Chain A
Amino acid sequence: GAVVSQHPSRVICKSGTSVKIECRSLDFQATTMFWYRQFPKQSLMLMATSNEGSKATYEQGVEKDKFLINHASLTLSTLTVTSAHPEDSSFYICSASAGGNSNQPQHFGDGTRLSIL
């Protein structure tokens, strides 16, 4: 149980394109989801905390107008990278909190490798 599906796993697109990444909790409801960014050989940096039905909470230094987060249901959160540029190329990982119903604090998706040409 507690599976998180992230889609797409890889995307390559031209500069200026907007890219949407989906994060779904398949077998549990997640009131809170998290979005991370990971540069090569570096750690996971939290970008924002996504709460169902309310605005996301962004970490300091993360542009909310650049990285749009929507958490419209208890099983789906989306991250849209607007007008993506090469410097936005990175590995993006989502996770979902199952709260007290899990032995883990967060269940992670398999990540999305974003490459902007």
Chain B
Amino acid sequence: AQTVTQSQPEMSVQEAETVTLSCTYDTSESNYYLFWYKQPPSRQMILVIRQEAYKQQNATENRFSVNFQKAAKSFSLKISDSQLGDTAMYFCAFMKGVANFGNEKLTFGTGTRLTIIP
């Protein structure tokens, strides 16, 4: 079974600063995906960024980037130039698989509540 651990229950940062959210995972799978989801107060789940385990290059989406350390089973999210709209719960998630996602289930971490301070 897979486990996903987020060790920072809450974080806060000043607007425009950079913040890094931590995530570690444990798995015996060799092929898998990792994701960061954002859940704002509206409770909608929004995919922020994804990383395929077989790719060595860290994924980047505008202000969001990851530091994927496969050997250490670490997958942190960096938010640059943070904005008030980034205030939300952030969940790290794991999915096993190779291609096209299939119908595999997601395993979520416990989440980090991020507050951007004006």
Which of A41, A102, A108 has a CB less than 8 Å from the CB of B101? Answer: A102
- Cβ-closest 4 pairs across A and B: A100-B100, A32-B103, A108-B45, A105-B101
CB pair A43 B100 closer than 8 Å:
no
CB pair A105 B35 closer than 8 Å:
yes
Residue positions of B touching A, CB distance < 8 A? 33, 35, 42-45, 47, 50, 91, 95, 99-111, 113
Question: What total of A-B pairs shows CB separation below 8 Å?
Answer: 57
- Contact flag A99-B113 (CB < 8 Å), given A104-B47, A108-B44, A108-B45: no
CB pair A31 B110 closer than 8 Å:
no
Chain A 77-95, CB-CB to B under 8 Å as 1, else 0, gives 0000000000000010101
Residue positions of A touching B, CB distance < 8 A? 31-32, 34, 41-46, 49, 51, 91, 93, 95, 97, 99-100, 102-106, 108, 110-111
Complex interface: chain B residues within 8 A of A102 (CB)? 101
CB pair B111 A42 closer than 8 Å:
yes
- Contact flag A99-B102 (CB < 8 Å), given A41-B113, A43-B108, A105-B95: yes
Some 10 contacts from A to B, beta carbons below 8 A apart, are A43-B110, A51-B103, A95-B106, A99-B103, A103-B50, A104-B50, A105-B95, A110-B43, A111-B43, A111-B44
